[in-house]
Structure 1
Amino acid sequence: MVFRWIRRNHPELLRYEDALLDCYKDGLQDDLGLWARLAEQMAQQPREADARAFVPDLLGSRPPAAGQLTAPPLRAALANPELAQEVEKFADWITSFANNNRVGGRVLIPGRAGGRASIAKLVPIATPFHEGRGATNIETLEWANTAVADGTDVLLLDFGSPMDSEAWRQMCARLCERGVLLIGVGGDTGNEKPNYPVWCEDVLTVGALHKDKLARSASWDPTKGKPEIFAPEDTAWADPARKFTTGRPGSFQAALGVLAAALTVWSIDRSFSADEVRQILLDTALRKQATRNGKRSVFYQLNLDGALACARTRLLVNVLRRGPASERELIAATGLSRDLTRPLVDGLEETQRIRAAYGTDTVRYELTGKPVTAGVWAWGQPPRVA
């Protein structure tokens, strides 16, 4: 549909035909307004200019959906010193990750222009880790305090020790009360030994998978429910694959994937709380089994497609809570494209969570009053609990 529209309205873009599909995948997709602005930009450029180079700025300037105009970009912080040296590549990777999953906008870093349509901003908090030695408990606690004082929404805890810490337990509880989503690197000891602070109750702890199976190196204690969620041990699974250094495969790279997923899900509806984003990731996770120390136990695997479907379904339901709406009104209120909206509306109607009210001019949908459970939120995706 988009390319037919381009041929009719902006045939001058066809000279860049080889780049148009990449522009679509990079996030322009069905937004005809952005395509029109791209045509304006390219009209001022030499014929050899690369249309793809203009996509990030176009996405970053796109206004958010109605009802989200007051929401600033999410703020995320992490302590890893290696990644701090490649923060621009890391930001670009999350931007492409979100855009390829039909979430527009970009991830900002210090010095990079952006607006309220941005997905997130990486907070420039100095790492507590120094070359040649680790960080003390006091230093990591001070780092977390500084990050949160700067308005951080998502904190990646990629450090720890086997020693339990009451100070960190209190810190994590306090951060959750303030609405911060805590994501922790589960560890790669290959046994049940805990790792603090990432095994604190308030942290969404991430373990590593190897080819969709529990990695032999993964730290895992099913009796304590830690880690709560597992993801591939190498971010090469993501689309696009990462282009920054993150060391050897393991739970750190798995946690980066969950961080990208959390930011993408939260960007769909900034009215979500940190607890709701965490619950979406857990409710839509795939139920798997593995054997450790001769015992068969359950673990849960990140299900990105299910989490995105869940977030978008909740967004549609929240609009309908304000009253009946047509498909066109749902699209306008949520900012979702028709091809994303239609299957979710069909799913809600088939499970009798909404019904069509036929008027004289157009079909409008309204809630039936039936509760929308986790399996319905992620219509078409396997729910966590049967």
Structure 2
Amino acid sequence: MSIPSAQVIDRIQQTARRARVAAKRLALLPRAEKDRALLALADAVAAATDDVVAANAVDLARGRSHGMPESLQDRLRLTPERVAAIAQALRDLASLPDPVGEVVRGSTLANGLQIRQVRVPMGVVGMVYEARPNVTVDAAGLGLKSGNAMILRGGSAAASSNAALVGVLRDALAAQGLPVDSVQLLDGGHDDVTALITARGLVDLVIPRGGAELIQAVVLEATVPVIETGIGNCHVYVDAGADLAMAHDIAMNSKTHRPSVCNAAESLIVHQDVAQEFLPKILVDLAAAGVRLYADEAAGRAAASTGTAYLPVTDTQWGKEFHGLEMSVGVVSSLAAAIEHIDRFGTGHTEVIVTNDRVAARRFTAEVDAAAVMVNASSRFTDGGEFGFGAEIGISTQKLHARGPMALPELTSTKWVVEGDGQVR
């Protein structure tokens, strides 16, 4: 990243200072007031559907003119139905418990001191993300409910959509008598990002969400603490003890339901004992759904037996998050070999085993190192909304502070409150 000018640094620091003022107000809001505001924000977003979709159409047209892949257009696209879902996510947040003030643990010591660990807001949270305008509203809503002020820097591909959405949110906050600087949008270039992620002391946390290049750039350059939301090279492993009809449905859903997102499966691994029976049909059906297949030697023979087109798989495909209708397919000799393959190529996001063998399932869940491990369920369920958390700020693949879908509790820190009646040491 380039070194930002003094003017850019000053502008971002002023933004962060305004956010800190807003955060102090948000931290003291009772749940009822925050929930009323979330419902008002939801109604405002829904009422602005036509304007938001029109702004999004500008972004889509610009993206198509620059050759944006269809998978990225899908991430960017807002329809009336998607705007309604974004508004509903805010309403769902209003129904969830308030994490602020929750007592994590507490006790009375032998000397009579009462100690308790309580959840408190992070303060000012920076979000750096790409062409996902729904993240703009999700981040704002999660920030409000958890008492944090949000500084958002969405990708340039979604500039018009994000500007429209943040305008709606800020107007709704003002109408509720809440600080509009609870949500701020940066519209500058990469220098804005650099200034944001190095504003140590003014910004409490940065969360990057997007492709591997964006995430690594933020992690390596930031002086502000970072929670890393990793990429998703997710696997579906079909075990020797699998119900093959179930495995078929799970593999198809994991790959084709929405292939552009991080919890879509990128690899299908099949135990050799069921490969001959399972692979021909699933490969035909994946290909019929438009999936480009990369197969190892054994999977290639199964594809060839049905006339299904494929390309030989290499380590490049095994290690790639495709963001589209592409999938690597292979056959392994054992459960241990499947786990070894996942250890080598997985990104710690979501891994799936399909099996009726409880011993195999227990071993898989114990040995696979990932934020989410699914047994007999689609990888598409790794999502804050699906887990019942409301919206999510991202899916963390690191192990410090938060792992997996990050929602309200993960946007808080804690403080110790100690009460005594004159004790001295």
Q: TM-score, normalised on structure 1?
A: 0.29
Larger Rg: 2
The higher-RCO structure (CA 8 Å, 6+ apart) is 2
Answer 1 or 2: which has greater strand percent.
2
Q: Which has the higher helix share?
A: 2
